[in-house]
Amino acid sequence: MARLPGEPADLGARIEAQLRERIEEAVDFVCLDVLVAQRRAAGRPAPVADSASDRAEYQAGVHAFLAHLAEAIAPALTPAQRERVQAAGGAGPDEAARLLAVQVALARALPDYWQRFEACRLTFPPPSPESGGERRRLLRRLFRRA
């Protein structure tokens, strides 16, 4: 099989690079979908690619989702898997790269990684406790007036 320019020559490295790319695409899809839905619900405009504040909000969502994913999957790991994942999370130039490296390690270690990813996607973002309280207060005020 021919390799593309810029791809590593080592088969293991190519597999890891492709796995990383798939995870990045899946995370992008989840986070952009959540961002658009939250903005729509709040009556705000959709994010724009050339807006620094929109990019920062999106990046914060990516970071939150990767952390949510790692926390949700970690309890099911064996000690050996946990050690490998921690080692993967220790390398990387920044927090986002480390969180992504953890996901690559999890995907390599767990045969059901994508099922777990999907389950986490369905529970993201976790409901914020403030919004439930605000909603109840609003409903209480509305029904008192009626």
- What lies within 8 Å, CB to CB, of 106 at 6+ separation is 70, 73, 77, 85, 113, 116
Residue 107: the pLDDT is 92
pLDDT band at 49 (very low <50, low <70, confident <90, very high): confident
Q: Are 59 and 96 in contact (CB under 8 A)?
A: yes
Least confident segment among 41-45, 60-64, 72-76:
72-76
Please state the pTM of the whole predicted model.
0.77
Residue 145: the pLDDT is 52
72 has a pLDDT exceeding 50 = yes
pLDDT band at 23 (very low <50, low <70, confident <90, very high): very high
In angstroms, the CA 125 to CA 95 distance is 19
Taking residues 101-126, what's their average pLDDT? 91
